[in-house]
Structure 1
Amino acid sequence: MQVRDVMSTNVESCSSNDSIEAVAQKMKDLNVGALPVVENGQVVGMITDRDLAVRGIAENRSNVGDVATTQSVVTCSPEMSVDEVAAIMAQHQVRRLPVVENGQIVGIVALGDLAVREQSNEMAGGALTNISKPDGQMQ
C-alpha cells in the first residue's frame, strides 16, 4: 500500500508571515494540531500547537516564521509505501508528514492514517512506540 492510498489531499496550510494567533485559530477551526508552512506551493516548515505555545506565547513571538520548525523538514512522496513512512515517522519522532510531489505539496499523512488501515495497525503501533521514546532512542 502506498502513501497516496491513505493520505489526506485537502491540505490546509499557512505561510511564514501569518500571525501565530491566526494559525492557532485555524488549527482550532480545523481541529488539527499541526499545519505545513508553505511558500509558493513548497513546504518550508511545519508548525504545531506545541510550537505556538512553547516558542510563540512563551517567547512572545508573533509570526509563524519565528516559531515554526524550518530546519530539516521531513517529507515523503505519494509513491512511498506505508511501511517506509512509518519507519520515517519513527526515526524522526513525528506524527505527520507533508506529502510532496515534484516539489509541491499534494497531501499530508498522519500516523492515524496508517492506523486506520487494518493491515497497517501493527506497523503504526510500532511507529508510535518509537515516536514516543525519549531522546530518539529506537528499539
Structure 2
Amino acid sequence: MLVEEVMTKGIRIAEADEKIAHAAKKMRTQNIGALPVIDNHKLVGMLTDRDIAIRAVGANKDLSETTVRDVMSEECFWCSASEDLEDAVRIMEQNRVRRLPVMNKQQEIIGMLSLEDVALYAPASLTGEVLKAVANREYEIVAT
C-alpha cells in the first residue's frame, strides 16, 4: 500500500512569516493540530498546537505580532506520496512524530500522513508499533 492511498488530501499550510494568530485560526477552523510551514515554496518546519501553547502563549508572546517562524519546530520529517506506507511508518517511528507532510515528485506538499491514517488503513501490528514508538517520549520538565 502506498502513502498516497491513505494520506489526508487538501492540506492546509502556514507561511513562515505569517502571524501566529492567523495560523491558529486556520487550525481551529479546520480542526487540525499541525500545519506544515513553507518559505519560498520550500518546507521549512511544522507548527503544532503544542508549539503555539508552549512557545507562544506560555512565553507570553503577542500572538498578533509573533510569526510562525518564531515558534515552529524547525526539524521536519516528510515522506513521498509514492513511498510504501510501511516505510513512511518507519520514519514516524524513528523520529517519534505523529504526522508527516507528504510530497510529490516536484517536492510540493500534497497531503499529510497521520497516526489516524495509519490506524485506519495499516495492519494492527504496524499501527501498534508506531503508536508505541511515538508515545514513548521523554519530556524535560522545566521549573518556572
TM-score normalized by the length of structure 2:
0.86
Separation of aligned partners in 2, 1:9 and 1:41: 18
Listed as ranges, the gaps of 5+ residues in structure 2 are: 140-144
Separation of aligned partners in 2, 1:87 and 1:4: 16
For residue 40 of structure 1, report the CA deviation from its aligned partner: 3.5
What is the percent sequence identity of the aligned residues?
34
Q: Check conservation: 1:41, 1:105, Cα contact below 8 A.
A: no
TM-score normalized by the length of structure 1:
0.89
Alignment match, 2:110: 106
- Any idea what SS the aligned residue of 1:69 has? coil
Separation of aligned partners in 2, 1:18 and 1:51: 15
Equivalent positions of 1:8-87 (< 5 A) are: 8-61=8-61, 62-70=66-74, 72-87=75-90
Q: Check conservation: 2:4, 2:81, Cα contact below 8 A.
A: yes
Separation of aligned partners in 1, 2:50 and 2:33: 8
**Cα RMSD, aligned residues only:** 1.5
Match of 1:127 among 120, 125, 130: 130
**Number of residues paired by the alignment?**
134
Q: Check conservation: 1:3, 1:80, Cα contact below 8 A.
A: yes
Alignment match, 1:115: 119
- Any idea what SS the aligned residue of 1:50 has? helix
- 1:59 corresponds to which letter in structure 2? A
Q: Check conservation: 2:96, 2:137, Cα contact below 8 A.
A: no
Separation of aligned partners in 1, 2:60 and 2:107: 33
Q: What are the Cα deviations for residues 88-112 of structure 1, in whole angstroms up to 9, with x where unaligned?
A: 1111111100011222112111111
- 2:54 corresponds to which letter in structure 1? V
Separation of aligned partners in 1, 2:102 and 2:116: 15
Separation of aligned partners in 2, 1:84 and 1:122: 14
Q: Check conservation: 1:74, 1:98, Cα contact below 8 A.
A: yes
- Any idea what SS the aligned residue of 2:118 has? helix
